[in-house]
Each structure stands twice: as structure tokens, then as C-alpha cells.
């Protein structure tokens, strides 16, 4: 019997040389292994070639990662993207149905940056394709010329929803400081999602799933970066890990009970 839960981590489909490949950033893997105290397994972007039911029967939780690519606008009725925008149709075909199925099945879900945008789209929400071009909203992009520690440094505050999951994880605080490395953002929040945090310009920075059977949180920033040095990031990955452990124990108990019944 495993002593640690197994967390599936969404992968991007990209080219490495001439070869189609499936990749995920090490920072996400490290946050699951060290921050959630779980086993990490990469989920390739194979769409229907690996059914959601088979995936959910295997994992104890799912992490939907950030990415340089954007959700295809046809997935939420948006206008055509600007020329040169990076998309990943294989990832969309994998993550969008899997995310809804996971939450319906009570599998813990943590969604980060693109993953948060996927969560919103999966629940019928829409996205700003260029947040910085929307009147009244700030530029939430990083300066790609900066060193990584500067890019991922806290850049603005967020207001935490009173009584929400994030406020509880933040020890009851009303605000937190987060990094900001995204060009897209939530336009209309999906049905069944609840705002957990907003930026100073009003942009939704986090949401949870109303009436979810297990942990189901999406955040626009990157808590995986230096997660152990930030109290809120630490709390997010710890809580997610505990939810995955609870599912692992429940599944183990169900399996043992089923085996005993058959014998």
C-alpha cells in the first residue's frame, strides 16, 4: 500500500527538436513532491486517447499547471487570437474535460495560472486575451528580461474574500502579496465558481468551486515558485496534499472493503 498520494500534473505538448514531447516545469513537480508530500506523475496531453475515467481511477489529485501557451479562444467563444499567440490544442483537449470530471468525481484539484484559466473555461467562463489592453485593468505581465527571482517576486497585493478558502489558508488575513506573470485573465467567471481573491484593479485572481466534494482551487499567480518561503504558498500546497491523502485513504478503505465483500 502506498504511503503517499499520487498527483497527476498536466503536461504541455511541445516540440523538442523534431520530436513531439510532453513536458511540465520542474517547479511544479518540486512543489508537489516537497510542498504537498506527494508522488508526482506527469499526464501527457493525449486527449481522448487516455480517458478521464482511467486517469481519475489512478490519481489521488490533479495539478493543472501554468504554461507559455493560451487556451484556444474557440473554447470560450472568444475572438481570434493575435498572430503569433501560442496555443496547445492537445492540452486543451486533455485538461478541459478532465478538470470538470475530476471535480465531479471528488478528486482534489489545484489549478495555477493557465490551469486557473482552464478551470474558468471548463465552467463556462470567458477570458481577457490581453489584460493590459482592457480599460481599467493593469498590466499583469512580467518583464522577461529580468532574472527569474525578479520576475517571480511579489508584485501586487490581492484582497482575500471574507470567509473564503484562501482567507482561511492565509490565517484570516484580508490581504496577501503575490507575483504576476500572465497576459490573459478571467473576464466572466464560470458558473459554479466563487471568487477567492481580487487584484487592486478588480481582476479575479483566484476562485474555488462551489459545493465541490474536495479541494478545488484555482489561482492566477504562481505559488509553486519558492513555495516554502511564502506562508500562503506553503499553506496551499499543504492543504492540497492533505486533501489528496484523504482521497488516497478513502480509496484504500473502499478497496479493502470491496475485497472483503468478494471473499
Catalytic residue set: 113, 222, 224
Q: What stretch of H or E contains 165?
A: helix 165-169
Q: Quick check: 136 and 201 in contact, CB under 8 A?
A: yes
CA distance 134 to 136: 6
Q: Please report which helix (H) or strand (E) contains residue 120, including its range.
A: helix 114-122
Contact status, residue 46 vs residue 97, Cβ threshold 8 Å: no
Which are the contacts of 209, defined by CB distance < 8 A and separation ≥ 6? Answer: 103, 109, 119, 123, 192, 193, 194, 216
Give the Cα separation of 86 and 83 in Å (integer).
9
DSSP of 63-118: EE---SSB--GGGTTPPPPPTT--B-HHHHHHHHHHHHHHHHTT--EEEETHHHHH
Can you give the length of the chain in residues?
A: 263
Rounded CA-CA distance 167/189 in Å is: 19
Amino acid at each position: 500500500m502506498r504511503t503517499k498520494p499520487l498527483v497527476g500534473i498536466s503536461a504541455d505538448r511541445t516540440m523538442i527538436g523534431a520530436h513531439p514531447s510532453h513536458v511540465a516545469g520542474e517547479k511544479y513537480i518540486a512543489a508537489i513532491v516537497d510542498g504537498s508530500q506527494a508522488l508526482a506523475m506527469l499526464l501527457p496531453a493525449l486527449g481522448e486517447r487516455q480517458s478521464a475515467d482511467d486517469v481519475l481511477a489512478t490519481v489521488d489529485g490533479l495539478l493543472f499547471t501554468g504554461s507559455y501557451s493560451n487556451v484556444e479562444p474557440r473554447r470560450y467563444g472568444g475572438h481570434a487570437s493575435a498572430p503569433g499567440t501560442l496555443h496547445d490544442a492537445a492540452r486543451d483537449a486533455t485538461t478541459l474535460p478532465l478538470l470538470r470530471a475530476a471535480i465531479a468525481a471528488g478528486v482534489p484539484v489545484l489549478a495555477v495560472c493557465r490551469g486557473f484559466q482552464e478551470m474558468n473555461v471548463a465552467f463556462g467562463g470567458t477570458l481577457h486575451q490581453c489584460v493590459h489592453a482592457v480599460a481599467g485593468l493593469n498590466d499583469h505581465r512580467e518583464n522577461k528580461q529580468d532574472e527569474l527571482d525578479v520576475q517571480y517576486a511579489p508584485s501586487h497585493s490581492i484582497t482575500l474574500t471574507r470567509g473564503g478558502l484562501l482567507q482561511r489558508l492565509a490565517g484570516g488575513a484580508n490581504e496577501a502579496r503575490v507575483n504576476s506573470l500572465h497576459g490573459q485573465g478571467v473576464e466572466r467567471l464560470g458558473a459554479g465558481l466563487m471568487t477567492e481573491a481580487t487584484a487592486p484593479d478588480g481582476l479575479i485572481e483566484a476562485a474555488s468551486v462551489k459545493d465541490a466534494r474536495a479541494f478545488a482551487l484555482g489561482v492566477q499567480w504562481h505559488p509553486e515558485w519558492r513555495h516554502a518561503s511564502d506562508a500562503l504558498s506553503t499553506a496551499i500546497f499543504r492543504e492540497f496534499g492533505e486533501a489528496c491523502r484523504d482521497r488516497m485513504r478513502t480509496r484504500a478503505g473502499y478497496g479493502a472493503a470491496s475485497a472483503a465483500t468478494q471473499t
